Amino acid sequence: MKKFRYQLDPLLNYRESRRDICRQVLAQVLAADAEQLQHKNEIQQQYQAIEQEVKQMGVGGRVEIDRISARRFHLGQLKTQIRVIDENRRLLEEKIKHCRQALVEADQDVKVLEKIKSRKLTEHTKTQIHQENLEREETWRATHR
């Protein structure tokens, strides 16, 4: 039986590579988003701890204005960091959306070629079986004359 050779294998390999790259990029962007979320959670915990500390400083007979002022300034900085992280995550969300769309398209491109390859392989197999049957029939006729 003649071996099947798919003419579009190089294109299929290229499209599979492109799909794999899309997967890798998506994984990297998702990891960056998870890292940003973790960082945001850490900052929010710091924010809450300092906010509690400021509340505790206000209770009691003695108020240390300088310490409270420094803590409130720090709270403002943490709030700014949270806003920056939120903006970064918004940008990452756009990248994630774009990467997912690119991955879907790349996957569809691969599936189309795989479907064609499957159909061509089936045709090749049928043709080979038909050829073998014709050869057997000719051999049988030649021996039974």
Question: Could you state, in order of their start, the residue ranges of all structural domains in the chain?
Answer: 9-108
Q: What is the pLDDT of residue 1?
A: 62
pLDDT at 61 over 80: no
Lowest mean pLDDT among 42-51, 77-86, 105-114, 116-125: 116-125
pTM for the complete prediction? 0.76
- Residue 7 reports pLDDT greater than 90: no
Query: Does residue 95 contact residue 29 with C-beta atoms inside 8 Å?
Result: yes
- Domain 9-108, CATH 1.10.287 — does that match? yes
Predicted pLDDT at 135 = 87
Helix segments in 4-145, DSSP class H: 9-58, 65-143
pLDDT over 80 (residue 29)? yes
